[in-house]
Structure 1
């Protein structure tokens, strides 16, 4: 009977009253799920290891209940509740005891994205339809591309918002009374794994989607690279108009070729080379569109130039690739090329993404703390060859040897930090033995970056770059990648005498919450 009822729950206006739903996790995503379901009239039990104090205080106000404690085993309270649906926050891995119990007992298991899709008709556009969804994933570049695409859509006159893994839950946007024409949804591999479980009558069907790239990451969560890749591929499921893929990353093209899409959906390629008739790319320093125009076999539309991007700090190769991907998504919704150029004139990268924090004594100090995996760090090192490279942290089950072999030998020196630094040092000994390697043995968070900067200052000379691109997560020594970046900037400014860099984030990394490091 429950499964029959769940098949009817494909609208905000469906009968959700009394539906027993267990919500796993109480961070920003978990609370948005609980709040939505409570508003719909469901019977909501939130189950979490750690309860944010503010969210815990609000739960009884919205009409939901809370159970908090160890989740090493399935709580008796959850079993007694007998949920008809479990909605999990993305931090819960497939082999978590509660997830395993849910699946073994045949209970419907959703992520927040599936719930948001089911109730996306709460606020409709003028034509009586819900907002279009544009889905973005990839090992790296998701947040930048999501912000770029949303900025381009707004410049083109559409009501659009960046949501999802970028920080604002999709459910919050769906319930915004002002409504949107389009939602640009950043999806982590964790969210996409849950999306791949959906069996409802109306599966998520995006207007356009992109997987920017694919490389080893989060293997400890998925269990293998094959599972990680399979989760990423779900981004293209049921795409209606445009499947955007990276021509320089064959894995993304295979995903598109294997995807079950809506009849008529087009494959749109992007890379830094000359584009084909259904691609976007670069011709003699000009970013062009050869996909969304009538005479695409003989002509192209100019979007911007590499020189213009360089004047705004946006010309690093991986950033140009992100811009092309975002432009393809925007063009699929008929955004004019002039609007795309206008959007880029005002766009700024987020902090901790190849951010120049200081130039002093001929040395440039660059914070790319957001490079939380080898693929991201490789892009940073390509943008700054010959840098003094600050590397290390939690490797998340990923072997860093290939990165060191490909890029490490070109570094002027390596300054190694973090819990897994032995693996990094070994990789240099084997694959880049000519590069000087310095280990940071500081244990206290407050001391790590001071030692990093002192060591870097002793190596770097006029014209050099010191690049923080750790290729690893931050939780061994820092609260988040942002905390790591800010502490690096503060240490640099202390060194050159320009003051500190501000205060620091606090964050938890238990599965009940939202991981502040990039959830590739």
Structure 2
């Protein structure tokens, strides 16, 4: 971890149009020709903010979805030009000063390649939000990334901050555009910010008050091109951190990313662990979330933040290990900001888990049905499966080239049976037959949404009293559903209908 000042030189701060230095809300954005790529939530927020400040905005969108057409209509009334179709996404128009891109557009996209070749800066909506903060008194950012768990951790952090009496909100990859939070007419005291690697890639100058990477495992390699590049993007969360870099003691990669980061002088490295914490760490001691980092005598004392029993948002069930780890990470960020231990406890007690994240649908005939549709990759599914002793596993979907063999090898001892759905289910089946040939396996040969009802019925036939039937697909959902949320809803609905009919 290298310390320095708040960046003496950063190419991202090079002014546009001669003397303009676009580093705060009051900067002169007027008359700049800016292209906004994408018309989702973040693209709309970026275009709206730039139009309000007098920029000449051109929006490029691909698909004429009802939501995109509605947003386009609003932006055109405000003065933007909106173009649909890939034919407009080849090269920036002559005279473009800046491109603001939606996070899902990869750097190898022809438009991005052309912009870079022409010397046009490319920012993401997150970078734009940072640069539109007030010159003085802007809300500090507490930032979180990680392959898995970041939405849980950032919403836990939001709950803790609010329990401390702070006006706070979770924004970024969690769903609320950061620009909306930054430019809210009633300013926030502090922002809990979730960042994906897509967003981090297009960010240049963020300097978080405190930052955290929860974990790192291979994901989105099709977008980043390699695991090394994906890992490097995760590490950007720590760049320019002011007070504390929070890392996962049980995932050494996160500590290495802290060691490689350039931070503001005086920033501390703070670990969190599911074991007993050493000084400058948070961890567990006899069922207590303990802080040995933000106390006066950390060499010999600790502060009790909460008890594991306080994390009862899953219908009273014992929380999974990864859920406890997310709570420790959120607590560490809050403590770095000066939140009292009592507020950490109150915020965690009040926290209600996000939908489709290890959420118990119901328990019927001593069988617990759990919706973890958010487990869209192998590491997330492994963490979910590892929380239970006897599992009937519903899995499958779009693997996006991911290798599920290590996942299956790690969890076979917990499996009562498996029910496979989705376009890439054969790859999971192959791994199961290799590592667990005796485990009952049901293949649902359909990618219609109604296949989830068949999967639930098949799982019920395999489950025994005391088992968990777990939807943890280890795959994306778009082969069958509009989103992982729709997939989880279909699972929950099928479970409720079946149990209501007395079939389980």
Cα–Cα, structure 1 residues 74 and 309, in superposed 2: closer, same or farther, change >3 Å? closer
Give the match's secondary structure for 1:12.
Answer: coil
Q: Which residue of 2 aligns with 1:104?
A: 117
Deviation at residue 316 of structure 1 after TM alignment: 1.3
> Whole-Å Cα distance in 1 between the matches of residues 259 and 19 of structure 2?
31
| 2:490 corresponds to | 487
Per-residue Cα deviation, 1:318-374 (whole angstroms, up to 9, x for no partner)? 111000000000001111101111112211101111111121122111100011111
What residue number does 1:461 align with?
464
Cα distance in 1, alignment partners of residues 451 and 381 from structure 2: 20
* Structure 1 residue aligned with 2:47: 34
Alignment length (residue pairs):
484
Q: What is the Cα deviation at residue 494 of structure 1?
A: 1.3
Ranges in structure 2 where 5+ consecutive residues have no aligned partner: 1-13
Query: For residue 70 of structure 1, what is the aligned residue in structure 2?
Result: 86
Equivalent of 1:212 in 210, 214, 223? 214
Specify which of 151, 159, 168 is matched with residue 167 of structure 2. Answer: 159
Counterpart in the other structure of 1:408: 412
Distance 1:489 1:74 in 2: 40
Answer yes or no: is the 8 Å Cα contact 2:418–2:441 preserved in 1: yes
Pairwise CA distance, 1:432: 2.3
Give the alignment of 1:293-372 within 5 angstroms: 293-310=295-312, 312-313=316-317, 315-372=319-376
- For residues 84-233 of structure 1, the aligned pairs below 5 Å read 84-121=97-134, 128-195=136-203, 198=204, 203-233=205-235
1:307: how far off?
2.5
Alignment match, 1:477:
480
Contact conserved, 2:46 with 2:179, CA < 8 A, in 1? Answer: yes
1:20 corresponds in structure 2 to 33
Corresponding residue for residue 5 of structure 2: none
Which residue in the other structure is 1:418 paired with? 422
C-alpha change, 1:7 and 1:387, in structure 2 (3 Å) is farther
**1:515 alignment counterpart:** none
Aligned residues: CA RMSD:
1.7
SS in 1 for 2:304: strand
Q: Does 1:242 align with 2:244?
A: yes
Aligned twin of 1:259:
261
> Hey, what does 1:287 align to over in structure 2?
289
Q: Distance in 2 between matches of 1:38 and 1:143?
A: 30
1:143 CA drift (Å): 0.5
Q: Which has the higher contact order (CA 8 A, sep 6+)?
A: 1
> Does structure 2 retain, via aligned residues, the 8 Å contact 1:388–1:464?
yes
Query: Partners in 2 of 1:213 and 1:498 — Cα distance?
Result: 42
Query: For the Cα contact (< 8 Å) 2:247–2:271, is it kept in 1?
Result: yes
Q: Measure, in 2, the Cα distance between the counterparts of 1:322 and 1:266.
A: 20
Deviations 1:60-101 (A, max 9, x none): 122211010125x744xx543431100000010121111111
Deviates more, 1:360-369 or 1:250-259: 360-369
Q: Distance in 2 between matches of 1:79 and 1:241?
A: 39
Structure 1: gaps of 5 or more residues: 123-127, 500-520
TM-superposition CA deviations, 1:388-409 (whole Å, max 9, x none): 0011111122111110011134
Q: Is the 8 A contact 2:395 2:472 kept in 1?
A: yes
Give the structure-1-normalised TM-score.
0.90
